[in-house]
A = this chain, B = another copy of it.
Amino acid sequence: MAEEQHLSALERLIRYGSDDDVRRFYALLRPPELADLLERLNGEDRKRAFELMTAPLASDVLRVVEDPELEEILEDMPAERVAEIAHESMTDDAADMIGALDEEKRAETLEHLDGEDRREIEELLEYGEDTAGGLMQTELVHVREDCTVREAMEQVRAENEDEVGDIHIVYVVGADDRLLGTVSPADLITADPDVPLSSVQDRDPIVVPPTMDQEDLAELVREHDLAAVAVVDENRRLLGQVLIDDVVDVMEDEATEDIARMAGTDFEAVFDDSVRAAVRLRAPWLIPAFIGGLLVTFFLGSVESSLKEATILAVFLPVVLGMAGNIGTQTSAITVRNLALGRLDFKRVGRTILRQVFTGLAIGSMFGAALLLFVLVTRGDDVAVKKYAMTLALAIWTAMTVGATMGVTVPLLLNKLGFDPAIATSPFVQTANDVTGVGILIVIANALDLI
């Protein structure tokens, strides 16, 4: 509610108020709250809103703006202004901003940055976007090992002049800049100031290479409750650090991506705002399902004349296909999520698959029995109906077992091959289920001489 009032107040101030009025309004809100409002302004108002910000405020706001909007906002800004804001930002946020620009504007913006900023940002842009290197900031506080806790605190105080931002962890390094350990600011405060730093530091901190995938990194940070993690090169020299705040965003994005993929669309479609974008982002994902569906019509078409006699099979086909699809979706969602959480144990892949096959057999037999009963009760039990009922029961049982089996094997296989397993629950595989389901029904009906 408050947000609605803030939004209309901001709109009014931008259109009719003085620049100072707008700036006074900014001072009332926290940057993330401001970002929420700005995302909802129209293009013109938003452009003006950013022009009225100081570079540090614009930096604080932009770091919480997410991708499709970030690109839009930066498009409206001159390269010089982007450079000014990037200069005020942590290197990881600056790299995200500059990485979101098109090639020409990116080069122009880098031109406007001073040598060190430029070099650091260019280095960060070299790393893959989804790696520890792509997430890390080069700003960090490090202290030398051979000192007391008191001296370490003094070093932290002196180093912080460089504006490191929130200090989650202090890194302890040797003379050759290699990482020897870590210590939290709270540990420094609570330790006796006169003991050697080496007696309070953690000598075996978790470190990661810059190439580590962000999903694995997130899992590590979550499991070990890390506030920040050091990124080091092969000689254990500190390259940068990834803060938990950034890992949290990764986790949300990875979950969003998995959810989108499972539903047969992609990450951007979750945030699409126009019908035009929705059509462009979503329609292509539906094409494999459509082609699969047409394939099913060929299968069914080949027995179309038999279907005239056996319309009951056509009537019950949707329930057979639906149930196979449903158990397949269940199984693949479970598999994909366990893969994402790092809970799937590859030494026991055989057991994991077998467990799902048996689950499919068990659940399939229950619904097979129910369908048998339903057909006999609603259609009478003469010899022909008995045969059809048996066919349908066998078909749903087999199709559900196959559905569960595909639901576990396809994501595992995709993962093994280096693809995103989440696409396995998409329309593509749902439709593969439809094709096999129809095939199974036809084969069984044939075997029983029904068609």
Contacts and interface: CB of A to CB of B under 8 A. Distances in A.
A168 interface: yes
Contacts of A285: 330
Given A275-B359, A297-B315, A316-B297, A290 B367 contact: yes
Contact of A259 (B249, B275, B337): B337
SS of A interface (majority): helix
A367 B330 contact: no
Interface in A201-239: 221-225, 227
A275 B315 contact: no
A438 to B, nearest CB: 7
A322 interface: yes
B319 A224 contact: no
A330 B263 contact: yes
A239 to B, nearest CB: 21
Given A222-B248, A285-B330, A304 B312 contact: yes
Nearest to A191: B157
Given A227-B227, A308-B308, A314-B300, A330 B186 contact: no
Interface in A293-325: 293-294, 296-297, 300-301, 304-305, 307-308, 311-312, 314-319, 321-323, 325
Most central of A156, A315, A318 by chain B CB within 10 Å: A318
Contacts of A314: 300, 307, 311, 314-315, 317
B359 A282 contact: yes
B289 A32 contact: no
A327 B287 CA distance: 11
A318 B262 contact: no
Interface stretch (A74-82, A112-120, A427-435): A427-435
Q: How many copies does the complex hold?
A: 2
A297 B319 contact: yes
A101 interface: no
Given A32-B223, A307-B315, A314-B311, A263 B363 contact: no
Contacts of A329: 263-264, 427
Contact of A434 (B251, B322, B341): B322
A293 B318 contact: yes
A260 B334 contact: yes
A450 interface: no
A311 B304 contact: yes
Most central of A156, A189, A367 by chain B CB within 10 Å: A189
A20 interface: no
A100 interface: no
B184 A184 contact: no
What 10 pairs between A and B have smallest CB-CB spacing? Answer: A293-B319, A263-B333, A314-B314, A255-B255, A167-B186, A185-B185, A225-B245, A185-B186, A300-B315, A278-B359
Given A252-B255, A322-B431, 6 more contacts: A259-B262, A260-B334, A263-B425, A270-B334, A283-B363, A326-B427
